[in-house]
Amino acid sequence: MGELILLRHGETEWSRARRHTGRTDLPLTSAGEAAAAALAPALAARDICAAFTSPALRATRTAELAGLAGAKHDPDLWEWDYGGYEGRTTPDIRAERPGWYLWRDGIIPGGPGGPHHPGETVEQVGARADAVLSRVIPLLDGGDAVLVSHAHLLRVLTARYLRLGPAEGRLFRLDTGTLCTLGVEHGEPVITSWNVPAA
C-alpha cells in the first residue's frame, strides 16, 4: 500500500505576514516558488499514482513547480473559509476578542463573501477532509497519492486520517513549502513524516 503525501503550498505575502488566507487567491512569492520547486526531487523518487490540488493559485503553482503538472483540481482541498476573519492576523483578532483561538472559537460571518457570509466551522472543514479521504485512500493500493493544499485543511485532514476529531488538527503545526506523509503501521493509520522542508 502506498502513502498519502501532503504538500502545503509555498509562501505567499499573506502567509509570510501570518494573515488568515482562506479563499483569497494569492500568488506565491519568489521564495515560495523556490521552496515548491525544491520539493520536486523528493516527489520524483516516489511511485505516485495520483495527485490532487486545491484550485487556489498558490496550490496549483506549487503542484506544477514540484513536478505534479497533471494534478487534478479538487474543490474539497480549498482552505478553511475564514469568513469575517479573512486576511486578519491572530493578534489583530485578539485585540477585539481576547483569548480567541481558531480551533476552539471559530470564525465570524463576513469577509469577501459579504457581511452575512458564514464562513466554515471546523466540523464543515472536517466533512470536506473526509470526502477527500474517501476518494483518495482506495487509490493507495496503486502507489502513493499526493494532495497539494493549505495548512489548516491539511491539519484537519490529518486528524481525520488518524480517526481524531477535526479540531485535533490543532496539534499538527504545518509550515509553507513542506512535505508530510501518512501511512499505516500494523493496519493502523500513522504519521510517517511531518513538516519536512525541501533538502
pLDDT tens track for 9-41: 999 999 999 999 999 999 999 999 999 999 999
For residue range 72-109, list pLDDT tens digits in order.
Answer: 999 999 999 999 999 999 999 999 999 999 999 999 99
**Are β-strands 72-73 and 144-149 bridged in parallel, bridged antiparallel, or unpaired?**
unpaired
Place of cell 483518495: 136
| Percent of the chain residues topping a pLDDT of 70 | 100
User: Which is nearest to 47 in space by CA: 114, 96, 1?
Assistant: 1
Report the CATH number at residue 78: 3.40.50.1240
Number of structural domains (the chain) is 1
Q: How far apart are CA 145 and CA 136, in angstroms?
A: 7
Q: Which amino acid is at 186?
A: H
Q: What whole-number distance in Å separates Cα of residue 111 and Cα of residue 109?
A: 7
For residue 9, give every residue at least 6 positions away whose Cβ sits within 8 Å of its Cβ, in sequence order, or none.
28, 32, 36, 54, 56, 58, 59, 61, 62, 148, 149, 150, 176, 177
For every residue of 144-169, DSSP letters joined together read EEEEEE-HHHHHHHHHHHTT--GGGG
What's the pLDDT score for residue 188? 97
Contact status, residue 79 vs residue 12, Cβ threshold 8 Å: no
pLDDT value at position 186? Answer: 96
According to DSSP H, which parts of 18-110 are helical?
30-38, 40-44, 57-65, 90-96, 102-105
Strands 48-53 and 144-149: parallel
Domain that holds residue 164: 4-197
Mean pLDDT for 66-71 is: 95
- pLDDT at residue 199, as a whole number: 73
Dihedral sign, Cα of residue 13, residue 15, residue 17, residue 22: positive
Is-contact 138 153, C-beta < 8 A? Answer: no
User: Which residues are designated catalytic?
Assistant: 9, 79
